[in-house]
Amino acid sequence: MSGKEYLLKENEVLNDLLGYDGLKIIQHPEMFNFSLDSTLLGNYATLNKNAHKVVDLCTGNAPIPLFLSLRNSNIKIIGVEIQDVSHDLASRNVAVNGLENQIEIIKGDLKGINEKIGRFSYDVVTCNPPYFKVNPDSNLNKNDYLTIARHEVLATLDDVVKEASLLLKQGGRFAMVHRPDRLIDIIETFRKYKIEPKRMRLVYPRIHREANVLLIEGIKGGKAGNLRIENPLFVYENETSVNYSQEILDLFMLGKKEEASQ
């Protein structure tokens, strides 16, 4: 048994993250596994020369911290996860990749996490949050792990943006992936907590389909206005293909390229 295999538990699998030979991720088929959304956010968040400390809220099994570590091996990353099983997976994913010196996984509610890890201390906050509001008509999954991951049961959009604002330094950036139909809510909530939207990109599964993913980034304390709407991103190369578009394939290789350039 290899050093990595001993970290696996029953029914878990060890996969290459984004197809990279050098980065692994442990997943459980019955849980909420990382998706393209996490990959897109891990690439979309701005990591400039002033970015040294990063927090990823709702980190799940830690795909975003893992991807960010590929982009910059010098940043320090904290992942925050409330669910026991997801926290355990995230911790082992850090260990299986030997990234304990760069990534720390904290178990806890994101609400008030600034009181534990430092208020107004971070250059970047990222989050792939629960997308769906909870109402009497919500079709909640019987699997609690999936319900919490997908629906605003333990954390609402307001909770997420408020905490991001409390964690960020002035001029720090908050990057989030969400659903396009929540755009108005997102912009209003960003501004409520003094995070000014500065970049936005819509992701479409195919050229003639509606957008189903929204990437957005704001600056804490930024001046109002100058929101840049970036070019659309198409996931598949055409209407019938099952192959990813060239831009998506390039994103999969970005971490490798950035790591090699350091």
Cα–Cα distances (Å) from 78 to 105, 118, 143, 203, in that order, read: 6, 11, 27, 27
Q: What is the pLDDT of residue 253?
A: 67
Length of the chain: 262
CA distance 207 to 209: 6
Confidence (pLDDT) at 143: 52
Domain segments of the chain as ranges = 5-261
Is the CB of residue 82 less than 8 Å from the CB of residue 154? yes
Residue 208 has pLDDT above 70, yes or no: yes
Under the banding of pLDDT at 50, 70 and 90, the label for residue 28 is: low
pLDDT (tens digit per residue) in 144-192: 645 444 544 567 999 999 999 999 999 999 999 999 999 999 999 999 9
Helix (H) or strand (E) holding 144: helix 144-150
Confidence of residue 242 (pLDDT cuts 50, 70, 90): confident
* pLDDT value, residue 17: 67
Dump the DSSP string for 113-139.
THHHH-TT-EEEEEE----B---TT--
17-31, 147-161, 200-214, range with greatest mean pLDDT: 200-214
The pLDDT > 90 percentage for the chain reads 56
> Quick one: 5-261 is in which CATH superfamily?
Vaccinia Virus protein VP39 (3.40.50.150)
